[in-house]
Structure 1
């Protein structure tokens, strides 16, 4: 049986599955809540931004700075991509 994570998480089963897969609490809650909403479709193709692999290192660094990724100044392009995807 899934645990009740309170009113801030709308889909407890999805939240738990994402946490078990290693997603952060915040990321799991965002995805679980989006899937529970009829007005959002998180499984559909995303926005118009190109994949991170097509971004320059400077663009990735700027995005990491916006999201306050720790250790970003020491990361290469691949590490920045991985950190951004796990944020």
Structure 2
């Protein structure tokens, strides 16, 4: 299989390829690869602010977040489906 070309915006091609092979979306793989390139790979998961777990969010809040990132079909999703879609995006 030929190697994918993530384009010039991806800063860590090796990590991008690994994440895509694991089944992550192009957007998610690029976001993680670029965050890792700016610091150590180990610290990427600890970076960021504090947010309540999706399980603690209301369905309305989950749908708003899904709309912000462009998840299709969110109006018909149940809470569990919304959480899964948000986590996998």
What's the TM-score, normalizing by structure 1? 0.85
How many residue pairs get aligned? The number is 86
1:57 to 53, 56, 59: 59
Partner of 1:10: 11
1:34-49 to 2 correspondence within 5 Å? 34-38=35-39, 41-44=43-46, 46-49=48-51
- State the superposition RMSD in angstroms: 2.1
Listed as ranges, the gaps of 5+ residues in structure 2 are: none
* Deviation beyond 3 Å, 4+ runs, structure 1: 2-6
Cα drift, residue 39 of structure 1: 8.5
Listed as ranges, the gaps of 5+ residues in structure 1 are: none
